[in-house]
Amino acid sequence: MDWSKNLIEEYELNSGIDIANETRKVSYTVAVREALDYALAEDESIFVMGQGVDDPSGMFGITLDLDKKYGSHRVFDTPLSENALTGIAIGASLTGMRPVYMHNRPDFLLMAMDQIVNHASKWSYMFGGHISVPIVIHATVGRGWGGAAQHTQTLQGLFMHVPGLHLVMPSTPFDAKGLILSAIADNNPTIIIEHRWLYRQSGHVPEGPYAIPFGRGVVRRIGKDVTIVAISYMVVEAMQAAEELSAEGINVEIIDPRTLKPLDEEIILQSVQKTGRLIIADTGWKTGGVGAEIAAMVAEKGFEYLKAPVKRVASLDIPTPACYVLEDRFYAGKANIVSCCKEILSVNTY
């Protein structure tokens, strides 16, 4: 059975259900677990593997008790050997299985770059589309616990650079469930990077299955003065900044791309055409990062819309410190976005 055909695309779902007025509200953690639970129930070719997926805490709760429900042959712990295990998962996907490989941290994906970049992303291309690699690689960004330089890196800039990979970064419980189901149903390798602080968020999530198509961003807040393209947890920071700026008469528009590959360029360009000003807020490093790519795209395709130089809000270009005070300084957030908005609005128009 092609279980993915049971998924309702987001626009079809929204035509019949008012998400904003839905009474069912769950945490981001529950939304992710629901997506995995539904996929496992519908298709026996799907399995979940990774360090800690069968622990009592269920990897932050997102795999809680799934090993008990589906058995240790379908939800199982893995050794500390990321490159080898990623190769095993890719091999399984080449034979018709649909593995979901859960990583505690994106940092551990660096151990598997050979498998991800040289194999998963290229097999379909090298064999003329006759082979697919339906693998989902999921990682959670750590922050606020002193993980320091080797356990808190946000590496979306690296994966955005590689052809053949989908790259997903949800910001809400609703999007998390829909995008994970889309990723599992897709026949291409998909990297999902989630921010641990998003697990604190709650939102309206339908009980049933639904899919959010890749490459379709969303306007989180309508505005006219400045466009903020916010990635992952920076959507939360941008929304908080927007409230503060609104009190001062500054009206910002917030765009959430939801997927970075493919990227919804149209929704970004339409917003910039309206506001004339662009800020990109990302959780990764500034140099060579997601913000640089989006800024370049707007410069190439929408330069005539700009009334001021593009601004980027991102982490400092240094390894992450462990000390809480230094870590707080390292990460950008609401205050940086507020300051950036005021600065960009003070620039004389071209």
Query: pLDDT tens digits, the chain, 350 residues: what are they?
Result: 466 777 776 655 554 555 555 568 999 999 999 999 999 999 999 999 999 999 988 888 999 999 999 999 999 999 989 999 999 999 999 999 999 999 888 888 999 999 999 999 999 999 999 999 999 999 998 777 777 888 888 999 999 999 999 999 999 999 999 999 999 999 999 999 999 999 989 999 999 999 999 999 999 999 999 999 999 999 999 999 999 999 999 999 999 999 999 999 999 999 999 999 999 999 999 999 999 999 999 999 999 999 999 999 999 999 988 888 888 888 999 999 999 999 999 987 65
The single residue of 82, 194, 237, 253 carrying the catalytic annotation is 82
What local confidence, expressed as pLDDT, does residue 24 receive? Answer: 86
Q: Which has the closest alpha carbon to 155: 32, 259, 282, 52?
A: 282
Distances (CA, A) of 104 to 34, 99, 187, 260, 307: 19, 16, 24, 21, 42
Regarding the domain delimited by 3-211, which CATH topology (the fold level of the hierarchy) does it fall under?
A: Rossmann fold (3.40.50)
Instruction: Kindly give, in sequence order, each residue whose CB lies less than 8 Å from that of residue 72, ignoring residues fewer than 6 positions away.
Output: 54
What local confidence, expressed as pLDDT, does residue 15 receive? Answer: 47
CA 252/CA 341 separation, integer angstroms: 8
What local confidence, expressed as pLDDT, does residue 104 receive? Answer: 82
Secondary structure of residue 36 in the 3-state scheme:
helix
The single residue of 119, 138, 151, 166 carrying the catalytic annotation is 151
* The two structure tokens encoding residue 149: 């330089």
- Cis? peptide before 262, omega within 30° of 0: yes
Regarding the domain delimited by 218-345, which CATH topology (the fold level of the hierarchy) does it fall under?
A: Rossmann fold (3.40.50)
The full 3-state SS of the chain, as one line of letters, equals CCHHHHCEEHHHHHHHCCHHHCCCEEEHHHHHHHHHHHHHHHCCCEEEEECCCCCCCCCCCCCCCHHHHHCCCCEECCCCCHHHHHHHHHHHHHCCCEEEEEECCHHHHHHHHHHHHHHHCCHHHHCCCCCCCCCEEEEEECCCCCCHHHCCCCCHHHHHCCCCCEEECCCCHHHHHHHHHHHHHCCCCEEEEEEHHHHHCEEECCCCCEECCCCCCEEEECCCCEEEEECCCHHHHHHHHHHHHHCCCCCEEEEECCEEECCCHHHHHHHHHHHCCEEEEEEEECCCCHHHHHHHHHHHHHHHHCCCCCEEEEECCCCCCCCHHHHHHHCCCHHHHHHHHHHHHCCCCC
Backbone angles phi, psi at 103, to 5 degrees: -115, 140
Please indicate whether residue 82 is annotated as part of the active site.
Answer: yes
Torsion of CA 32, 5, 98, 259, to 10 degrees: -50
CA 350/CA 142 separation, integer angstroms: 41
76 strand-pairing partners:
49
What local confidence, expressed as pLDDT, does residue 113 receive? Answer: 96
Let me know if the fold of 3-211 is the same as that of 218-345: yes
Domain ranges of the chain: 3-211, 218-345
Please indicate whether residue 151 is annotated as part of the active site.
Answer: yes
